[in-house]
Structure 1
Amino acid sequence: MLILLHKYLNSYFNIIYNISYRAVFSLLTSFFINLYIGPYFIYFFRKIQKYQTIRKNGPKTHYLKNKTPTMGGLFIIISIIFSIFLYCDLSNRYIWYIMSILLGYGLIGFLDDYKKIKNENSQGLTIIYKYFLLSIFALGIIYIIYNNSENIISTQLTVPLCKKNFEINYFYIFLSYFVIVGTSNAVNLTDGLDGLAIMPIVFLACGFTLISLLSANAQNSDCLNISYIKNSDELVVLCTAIIGSGLGFLWFNSYPAKIFMGDVGSLSLGGSLGVIAILLHQELLLIIMGGVFVIETISVILQIISFKIRKKRIFKMAPIHHHYEIKGILEPVIIVRFWIISLILLLISLISLKVC
């Protein structure tokens, strides 16, 4: 919206077009929108008694949270979309790719949350139906990205600490699908404690903010292990909207949480970060930056494999944050330690960008 205003007013409001100013305003706007509308959402869900359904086989301390409302991801999405329309250049295709997944996966998450609340159990959409919907949206956006007339995305894989890019042809389509669906589900698995998932999301968005800015400059891409991507700096404004919205949500989601994110938030944010990684050619760097999500997912996979083969569990409960809970570590301690790990992994990821 402000970009259109700049075109009409020309040089009188050059500050409007400046990427730095738009990024800061985008962050602040999404943050304060969440602070403003958050209490209304919490009050509304409490009034209609739409609460998070607690797993029966989960840690006993979680039963104290059975009156905590869910679907907080709704106002996360609202604040991000508002900032995007206000500050982003909507002629940039990248913005629409990410918004499509944000809204599409948000809808799937909403259906999943709604079914859990309606049936008053922790089982939402069936696994097959849920993955079918996630796959349809993921494959749809991948098809659009790889068949656009500007040929934005190549099929080269960027490897951290390696200056050479590797051509993997059609396997890149499979990798893109895995990144989008895998990231959304990894965030969903991590979202099990108050504020546990949202800060790693914010850290990931911070990392992508910097990479988006560097990728838009050909000189930077020559010096660092990143691909030159024309107009990728517009993703900076979108990423800062995610950062601001995440911090605004944390205001209410920090321990003890007043509202939970729900699948509507975890699936949409995870899928969006996956698309950003694809657009920036940083799929492998996403694995490092989002290491907390990877660890949580691997813990679930290992638990299932071990139980199927050995009839024994590796962890007291999966995902791994529940394992530490059952061992007696306090929830706030687990949360902050996971945040620290996530920040360290972000820093490791950034220094892995090889300087010439």
Structure 2
Amino acid sequence: MIFLINKCLNFKIFNFISYRIIFSLITSFFINLFIGPYIISCFKKLQNFQIIRTNGPIGHLKKNTTPTMGGILIIISICLSVLLYCDLYNVYIWYVIFIILGYGVIGFLDDYKKIKFNNSHGLKVLYKFFGLSIIAIFIIYIMHLNQANKIDLELIIPFYKKIIVKINYFYIFLSYFVIVGTSNSVNLTDGLDGLAIMPVIFISSGLGLIAFLSSENCLRNDINIFHLKQANELSVLCASIVGSGLGFLWFNAYPAKIFMGDVGSLSLGGALGIISILLHQELLLLIMGGIFVVETISVILQIAYFKFKKKRMFKMAPLHHHYEIKGLSENLITIRFWIVSFILLLIGIISLRIHDAI
């Protein structure tokens, strides 16, 4: 909105995307700080408390008086910041907002059902998966209709620029798995105070940097990215996610005063997935989001191993619960996962230039 007003009034400071990135981050951060206490107080009165799994770690039982559905706070701050500082004529922005809101609704229904029936089941897995799939397929179809050139069907391979895979219509299936898969991966990782939100912040920062550089045609020969004219606005949106994430972490850090719930984890995961698709950095997302990948694989291995061997590979899945059962403190696990996530972010950024040395 400010971007559009700026165009009309010729207020030049907001002509520079760097200023809009900074203001977007700061605005979403302070929106969370301002309305966070009111949301927490309201949810406590409504008794929107976290439902703890009966078969989960014993130490989590004390969290049954901590409000959940804090993802609503994240979505509000992101959307307000985007409306203020993004170019609303840019279709990339609306792709991401559609996923955030759509997945947010699915997550809200899941959280609401858990609270209403006082159990950890939520929506049936089939219904939840169906809802996520319909939203993903719809937005992928719209994106496919609006494809402007053959670049839209090419996949960038990290670490080596000369390898660009033409995936043609496999793009549709890849996009689906990236959006739905990333959404569920973030959801699985969100099991400890502050655990999921910091990797989201790191990845959003990395994707925001790539989005900013993607609009610079002069850099296309120096780094492993496509020149995408519309992508620069995604850097403003990524900044709003970073700011919102930091603002939410203010209340979600150990000991958490509020949890994001499925409404937050599904929407944030979906947003990361579709942003990586728009930037053609799906494989880079696997690197930067390695924490989410490992957490998901640990669940898959646990289920498969138990099915065939009738015993557990890990003491509990996802992986962070395994370390909890082994005796590591929640805070220690979270911080170590943050460190690993930051290292993966750096590896991802390095991969944009490492082709020069190969």
Q: Please tell me the TM-score bracket, short chain as reference.
A: over 0.9
Residue aligning to 2:8:
8
RMSD: 1.0
- Return the offset for 1:218: 1.5
Residue aligning to 1:210:
209
- Return the offset for 1:150: 3.5
Greater alpha carbon shift after TM alignment, 35-44 vs 220-229: 220-229
Equivalences for residues 1-356 of structure 1 within 5 A: 1-10=1-10, 13-148=11-146, 150-151=148-149, 154-163=152-161, 164-354=163-353, 356=356
Write the letter of the residue equivalent to 1:127: V
Structure 2 CA distance for partners of 1:149 and 1:184, relative to 1, 3 Å: closer
Distance 1:181 1:22 in 2: 30
Q: How many residues align?
A: 354
Maintained 8 Å contact 1:156/1:166: yes
Write the letter of the residue equivalent to 2:77: S
Write the letter of the residue equivalent to 2:16: N
What percent identity do the matched residue pairs reach? 65
Structure 2 CA distance for partners of 1:70 and 1:254, relative to 1, 3 Å: same
Distance 2:111 2:150 in 1: 35
Deviation per residue, 1:206-243 (Å, 9 max, x gap): 00111001111112122111111112111111000000
Distance 1:156 1:192 in 2: 35
- Return the offset for 1:2: 1.3
Maintained 8 Å contact 1:146/1:152: no
Gaps of 5+ in 2: none
Distance 1:193 1:200 in 2: 13
Structure 2 CA distance for partners of 1:90 and 1:119, relative to 1, 3 Å: same
Distance 2:94 2:20 in 1: 18
Gaps of 5+ in 1: none
Greater alpha carbon shift after TM alignment, 222-231 vs 344-353: 222-231
Distance 1:48 1:2 in 2: 35
Deviation per residue, 1:120-161 (Å, 9 max, x gap): 000000010000000000000000011116458611111001
Structure 2 CA distance for partners of 1:110 and 1:196, relative to 1, 3 Å: same
Secondary structure class of the residue paired with 2:68: coil
Maintained 8 Å contact 1:145/1:153: no
Maintained 8 Å contact 1:317/1:323: yes
Distance 2:332 2:210 in 1: 31
Secondary structure class of the residue paired with 2:155: strand
Secondary structure class of the residue paired with 1:154: helix
Deviation per residue, 1:298-330 (Å, 9 max, x gap): 000000000011111110000000000000000
Which contiguous aligned blocks of 4+ residues in structure 1 show a shift greater than 3 angstroms? Answer: 149-153
Distance 2:104 2:306 in 1: 32
Secondary structure class of the residue paired with 1:145: helix
Q: TM-score when scaled to structure 2? A: 0.97
Write the letter of the residue equivalent to 2:211: S
Maintained 8 Å contact 1:306/1:314: yes
Maintained 8 Å contact 1:94/1:279: yes
- Return the offset for 1:191: 0.2
Maintained 8 Å contact 1:145/1:152: no
Structure 2 CA distance for partners of 1:234 and 1:150, relative to 1, 3 Å: same
Distance 1:43 1:186 in 2: 29
Secondary structure class of the residue paired with 1:233: helix
